[in-house]
Amino acid sequence: MKTMKDVETRRFPHWNYRIVSKEVGQFIQFGIHEVYYWPDQSVRFVSVESINPWGETFEDLRVNMHQMAEAFHRPTLEWDHAWDEE
């Protein structure tokens, strides 16, 4: 059975999870977001809301948590308000 992630991966083969810092009022908040890339690896768009781990099975959840943990090994992105419009 195909999952939603399988469908997304085919439509957008260049994506991963990244930590994004966002200024909210006078505070900075951090969250894990889905980030999609152009073929040249520049950012195409970023999920507006941070992502919660999920899975259709226990194993899917474990894999998804592992994918999210990889975000801690990548540079943090600062929220670009141009992404608000996408």
Per residue in 9-60, pLDDT (tens digit) is 555 568 999 999 999 899 999 999 999 998 888 888 899 899 999 999 999 9
Q: Which pair of structure tokens corresponds to residue 54?
A: 């999920």
By C-alpha distance, which of 13, 66, 21, 5 is closest to 41? Answer: 13
Listed in sequence order, the DSSP H helices in 1-86 are 4-11, 58-69
pTM of the predicted model, to two decimals?
Answer: 0.77
* 3-class secondary-structure state, position 59: helix
d(CA 29, CA 1): 36
Domain boundaries along the sequence of the chain: 4-81
Average pLDDT, stretch 73-78?
95
d(CA 64, CA 58): 10
